[in-house]
Homo-oligomer: A and B are copies of this chain.
Amino acid sequence: MNEFAFIDAIKQHAYKQPSVMKGIGDDAAVFRQPSQDIITAVDTFVEDVHFSRSTMTPFQIGYRSLAANISDLSAMGASPAFYLVSVVIPQSWRDEELIRLYKGMAELAMAYHMDLIGGDTVSGKALSLSITVIGYVNRDKARYRSTAKSGDIVFVTGTLGDSAAGFHMLNNPNDYKDQAYYYRRHRMPTMRNDFASGLELLPRITLNDISDGIASEANEIAEASNVSLTIYEEKIPVSENFYQFSKEQQYKWKLYGGEDFELLGTVPKDGWDSLKEVADRTSTPVTEIGVVTEDRNQGHHVALVDRNHTKKQLEKKGYTHRSG
């Protein structure tokens, strides 16, 4: 059974609570209270599956894990408010290391005015960190991935592939350019909450955070919105010295690398200027990379146009070697 079939088997298909506005199926769940909508999400990180102490300090592991959760809130347009942390602790972790793990979260939480309001610590064989985040967004302003429409501009924030490049550099020491930059992008990513919250006045905008790679996220928007997306490979923004990696690495990392925690979105053309203003105000690099199309005959899919103007379908997963 693949992940999607499994989730489909375990998810509810109708909700009983009248206050639920979005359950499973987006970056986070939404339920309503009278003044603001409340956003909540949970993510779990397991040692030697999602992170390794050989490439990150406990502080960085904590920081990055909470960052991944905050990124989910930003993809909903929400402001972070609270977090709860549950840790499974093996004997191989010393108390001091665990405390630094929590300090890594606390440092990031401080920057976002978040409070740690709960949690659990239990013993087990492998360190696993489960974080629940809760945030607020003004009523009806949660940003879903299901709202893209034909003609929308497709955009991303920041540069893509840096986290995967940093991970590669940590595991394959060599004489790289901008090593510290890539390390930081992998270990202590920047989130785009100010930008996402700033977009509140736009009547419609679709947002997804790039945790699994743009190929995966673009397909999620296409499926949820029942549209197709065309993305131009040349327009995908990469960092200044990204060219130092092989063409194959560049292709793989920028499309499938993930964990950059940048935002992929779609916005109506007449919202583009307002979006750019918010981007300027929040110092957020934003790049137009494609367009939303209606493609009812062929179903919803994502097309990638390469520099030779060749168009091919960009699959959700399953990176395969390019021919040439």
Contacts and interface: CB of A to CB of B under 8 A. Distances in A.
A125 interface: yes
A114 B29 CA distance: 14
Contact of A31 (B7, B22, B24, B82): B82
A107 to B, nearest CB: 12
Contacts of A1: 95
Number of copies: 2
A33 interface: yes
B46 A84 contact: no
Contacts of A7: 121
Interface in A93-108: 95, 98-99, 102, 106
Interface string A115-137: 11111111111101010101000
A16 B130 CA distance: 22
Interface stretch (A34-42, A287-295, A296-304): A34-42
Nearest to A5: B95
A43 interface: yes
Contact of A44 (B35, B43, B81, B130): B130
A23 interface: yes
Interface residues of A, number: 63
Contacts of A273: none
Given A34-B33, A49-B123, A42 B84 contact: yes
Contact of A23 (B10, B19, B45, B115): B115
A17 interface: yes
Contact of A84 (B15, B29, B49, B122): B29
Nearest to A130: B130
Contacts of A16: 113-115
A79 to B, nearest CB: 10
A148 to B, nearest CB: 22
Given A17-B113, A44-B88, A132-B132, 19 more contacts: A6-B99, A9-B99, A12-B116, A16-B114, A17-B81, A19-B81, A20-B82, A20-B115, A24-B116, A24-B119, A28-B118, A31-B82, A40-B82, A41-B118, A43-B86, A44-B87, A46-B124, A86-B130, A88-B128
11 contacts: A7-B121, A9-B99, A10-B99, A12-B106, A12-B116, A17-B82, A20-B82, A24-B117, A42-B132, A46-B88, A130-B130
